[in-house]
Amino acid sequence: IILDPLDIYELTKNLNTTFENLLKEQIELHVVDGMILPNLKMTDKNVCPFLKEKRCSIHSFRPGICRVFPLGRIYEENRLDYFLQVEGCVKENRSKVKVCKWLDTPELKKNQQYLIDWHAFRKKIECILGEMSDENQKKTITMFLLNTFYINPYDTEQDFYPQFYARLDRIAQVIA
């Protein structure tokens, strides 16, 4: 399960820890579409590290992908749509629930724009890296992105979104 920068911000803030400490037990790094990204580190039994006694121990600040389940997301032309993954929902009598209520996400419109922007950025980086032949240059860029968006801590006393967009703007100037 891939974690985005907001997920890491929420985990470090609410668990009062650092990215490096999360790497010890709860997350691991994988290359996804050319970028090095943090993922939840599943246990030997393929169980989330935050699942304790069959309950989510971080439910109030769980990662976005957990928050959205059993919905899926489709990104199309600066837009975000949701769909129900029928096979992912074992509930028999599914009643209609508005997506905004299901997601239970603070500042939903800001969050959705952030997700659209983060997805577009990842796609752009995927294209840039795909056109490069120098593996050392690719590694330098992916490490720079990992440091910028994940390892360098966000100020958890401040709102996440302005910090994220300031980092995104800095990166845009570098890769322009």
Helix, strand, or coil here: 57? coil
Give 84's contacts (C-beta < 8 A, 6+ positions apart): 70, 71, 72, 94
DSSP 133: -
pLDDT at 23 over 90: yes
Determine the average pLDDT of the residues in 11-25. 95
Give 20's contacts (C-beta < 8 A, 6+ positions apart): 151
Q: Retrieve residue 22's tokens.
A: 């999360």
Maximum CA pair distance of the chain? 54
Q: Which amino acid is it at 79? A: R
pLDDT at 46 over 60: yes
Look at residue 87 in the predicted model and tell me its pLDDT: 67
CA-CA-CA-CA dihedral for 122, 128, 133, 134, to nearest 10: -80
Question: What's the pLDDT tens digit per position in 121-170?
Answer: 999 999 999 999 999 999 999 999 999 999 999 999 999 999 999 999 99
Question: What's the pLDDT tens digit per position in 72-112?
Answer: 788 887 887 777 776 655 556 656 667 767 777 778 889 99
Look at residue 80 in the predicted model and tell me its pLDDT: 79
Determine the average pLDDT of the residues in 31-60. 90
